[in-house]
């Protein structure tokens, strides 16, 4: 048995969870936040039999898309005397970070 931790963007989690449930996988959802953009993330925990692992990872890949997003950042141009000016920057958001670990024992109560 395997335990899959999938850290996905908040916008992707409802659809991904629905698709995982539709495929027969049970999912536990944990709210989390990212470090770089402090954006909302969701950590999903899924216990699967080893032979179903590729199916779970493929669903995560399909429903956790990376995309460009503009964020405002504060820059201090030295020529402007140290004033903060909001400056839009394009960054990649979304996608997924997936960890798979062995499960020694699993009980559903």
pTM above 0.75, yes or no: no
Provide mean pLDDT across the span 5-26: 93
Provide mean pLDDT across the span 41-48: 93
Q: Residue 6 — pLDDT band, cuts 50, 70, 90?
A: very high
- For residue 61, give the nearest of 6, 2, 1, 10 by alpha carbon: 6
- How far apart CA 104 and CA 3 sit, in angstroms, is 10
What's the pLDDT at 3? Answer: 97
Domains of the chain and any CATH numbers: 2-65+94-102 (3.30.70.120)
For residue range 48-98, what is the model confidence (pLDDT) as tens digits? 999 999 999 999 999 987 666 656 665 555 555 555 566 666 655 567 889
- Let me know if 65 is exposed, middle or buried by CB neighbors in 10 A (0-12, 13-18, 19+): middle
């Amino acid at each position: 048995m395997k335990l899959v931790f999938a850290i996905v963007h908040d916008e992707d989690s409802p659809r991904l969870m629905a698709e995982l449930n539709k495929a027969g996988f049970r999912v536990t959802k944990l709210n989390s936040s990212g470090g770089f953009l402090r954006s909302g993330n969701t950590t999903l925990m899924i216990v699967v039999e080893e032979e179903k692992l590729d199916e779970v990872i493929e669903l995560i890949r399909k429903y956790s898309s990376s995309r460009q997003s503009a964020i405002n950042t504060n820059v201090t141009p030295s020529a402007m005397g140290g004033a903060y000016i909001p400056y839009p920057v394009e960054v990649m958001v979304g996608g997924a970070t997936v960890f798979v670990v062995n499960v020694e024992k699993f009980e559903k109560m």
